[in-house]
Amino acid sequence: MKKLILKSALYFFLILILLEVLVRIFHLGKDTPARFVDEHEVEKWVPNQNGFSVTGNRRQNFSEYNINNSGYNSYREFNPTKNKIEVALVGDSFIEGFHQDYYNSIGKKIENKLPNIEVYEYGYAGYDFADQLHLVHSYKEQFQLIDHIVLGIKFSNDLDRGAYNVVYSRLALESPKNRLLKKSKLLVYCKSIGILDPPQELIYRFISLFKSKQKFTTKSDEEISRIKKEKEKQYLTNFESLISTYGYDKERYTLLLDSRITSPVFLSYLEKNNFNYIDFADTFEATNRPTTLIYDRHWNNHGRQLIASAITEYLSKKEFQKPKP
């Protein structure tokens, strides 16, 4: 019996080591760049890192990222000047684009279509509208040189708060324990494909045995509608609060949104108050090819191509003052 247990434990340990080696050889697990909060309290990636982002098992999506000197995933450095035309794309992981090679990003796709424009992608996973305006405000000298700023906004996600503060829960991912765990590519891979969910669920189930059970109440349709209206109202208040805090240049700023998932109340507010926005709902609706990845809801190459086209079309109608002779 002892022999069986000891030998099984030994085999288990050796197999884990060999699996770790194999996962590294075939690069099945994703690399995770380090993040930090800079002197302006802006959360971003530690500059000048690169690696590979992997999604799904069997490397269903494999792409290279490159964090530039400014702390964002881009093939170019951000050096805005008065005599060039620059456009900034500011947003969350959808703009960040770890799901596609950095040299084929949305910004690069736009530049391919509009060669006289430089596109700076300030994308960071988890950025909401407060993060975005805080960033633009904190680096206002730089952003003032940029001719146009496109801000990605998802009404139901990005307006949860009306004031900016550092999101420490996100920074907890940088804790020594988490950084140590991420050193094991096998663990990172197993977590990404959901194989570690059952043990976690088991632990939660075990803990819940000792917790008092909460009564589950179903909400009536009226109540759901009331809560939804209250939330919409709150989001709108947050939007107004943020733009009054940080300022919002309606001439230079444009929102990028999907009207299919945006409240009509917010859309009519934007219309009424002359906020410019790019709505990519129709473009996505018209295509019969998938626009998102298999393993998550981020845009795939086709989706990102459509986004780039929508932005390009919008920008080509703009009359930029630069370059100056």
How near is the Cβ of 86 to another protein at its closest, in Å?
36
Instruction: Tell me the three state secondary structure of residue 138.
Output: helix
Terminal-residue alpha carbon distance, the chain: 86
Contacting residue, 198, 221, 222, 264, with another protein by CB under 8 A: 198
- Would you count residue 286 as binding another protein (CB under 8 A)? no
Q: What is the DSSP string of 168-187?
A: HHHHGGGSHHHHHHTT-HHH
Residue nearer to another protein on the CB measure, 59 or 322 = 59
Closer to another protein by CB, 276 or 301: give it: 301
3-state secondary structure of 281: helix
The interface region with another protein, picked from 2-10, 168-176, 220-228, 260-268 by CB under 8 A, is 2-10
Does 195 sit near another protein (CB under 8 A)?
A: yes
User: Rounded to 5 degrees, what angle do the CA atoms 166, 42, 130 make?
Assistant: 65
Site for another protein in 34-73 (CB under 8 A): 57-58, 60
Binding piece for another protein, criterion CB under 8 A, among 7-15, 30-38, 116-124, 303-311: 7-15
Q: Does 11 bind another protein (CB under 8 A)?
A: yes
The reply on whether position 15 binds another protein by CB under 8 A is yes
Best CA proximity match to 174, nearest among 9, 45, 70, 287: 45
Minimum CB distance to another protein, residue 201 (Å): 8
Q: What Cα–Cα distance (Å) separates residue 131 from each residue in 34, 36, 46, 160?
A: 18, 14, 17, 11
User: How many whole angstroms separate alpha carbon 318 and alpha carbon 273?
Assistant: 20
- Assess 197 for contact with another protein (CB under 8 A): yes
Among 8, 116, 144, 175, binds another protein (CB under 8 A): 8
> What b/e string do you get for 61-76 counting C-beta neighbours within 10 Å, with b at 16 or more?
bbbbbbbbebbbbbbb
C-alpha–C-alpha distance, residues 81 and 112, integer Å = 20
Binders of another protein: how many residues, by CB under 8 A? 27
Please report, as ranges, the residues that interact with another protein according to CB under 8 A.
Answer: 1, 3-4, 7-8, 11, 14-15, 18-19, 22-23, 28, 57-58, 60, 189-190, 193-195, 197-199, 202, 290, 294
